[in-house]
A and B are shown apart, each in its own frame.
Chain A
Amino acid sequence: QKEVEQNSGPLSVPEGAIASLNCTYSDRGSQSFFWYRQYSGKSPELIMSIYSNGDKEDGRFTAQLNKASQYVSLLIRDSQPSDSATYLCAVNTGGFKTIFGAGTRLFVKA
């Protein structure tokens, strides 16, 4: 079982819709959770961090965490073509190592 799992996609949504990206993790001791956006040919860019159960909103982005279900998600409201990228879920268990998922490719169709 992979430590951090994501659907590879591609996930295709129309412009203006809500994109929902999901991630599950295996280590119940995980404490910190991150979403990175990676455009083609570029390096990962941190867009959201979440540490406690519930929702965290930042502009059009909402991160959701459910530690009991070992599940973290990212919602992108009013999706734009510029949101088309690969989204990496990352999990830290409190140590030095952060485990990255393989990423979900998102396409937003104009």
Chain B
Amino acid sequence: GAGVSQSPSNKVTEKGKDVELRCDPISGHTALYWYRQSLGQGLEFLIYFQGNSAPDKSGLPSDRFSAERTGGSVSTLTIQRTQQEDSAVYLCASRNIPVAEQYFGPGTRLTVT
């Protein structure tokens, strides 16, 4: 079956611009997670959704970051006024609660110039 998809695969933007990253989870998966991975680093948890609600937003680095999920499916991560330190790979994962396994999408590589 189809896995997690993310778009765009690559995004180059100028400092100060806003960007939207999209995640389409595995069909039927109720939970959705966003992570960030800087070059050579581990996974940094950003936010997760159970259905359309986000019980834990503790990982969002600043108020420039926001995310939403609609229809219990697609999610968008928005970064406003991008900074160079936002350059990273943004990964989305989905999970079929109560099963614990998470499955990752291919990621969006964001470069802020």
Contacts and interface: CB of A to CB of B under 8 A. Distances in A.
Partners in one complex: yes
Interface of A: 31-32, 34, 36, 42-46, 49, 88, 90, 92, 96-98, 100-103
Contact of B42 (A45, A92, A100): A100
Contact of A46 (B55, B89, B102, B105): B102
A103 B42 contact: yes
Contacts of A103: 42
Contact of A42 (B48, B56, B106): B106
Contacts of B104: 36, 43-46
A34 B106 contact: no
Interface string B84-113: 000001010000010011111111000000
B42 A32 contact: no
A32 B48 contact: no
B38 to A, nearest CB: 12
Nearest to B102: A98
Contacts of B50: 96
Contacts of B100: 31-32, 34, 49, 92, 98
B91 A43 contact: yes
B106 A96 contact: no
B65 interface: no
A96 B42 contact: no
Contacts of B91: 43-44
A34 B3 CA distance: 19
Given A34-B101, A92-B100, A97-B48, A102 B42 contact: yes
Contacts of B107: 43
Contacts of B56: 96-97
A97 B42 contact: no
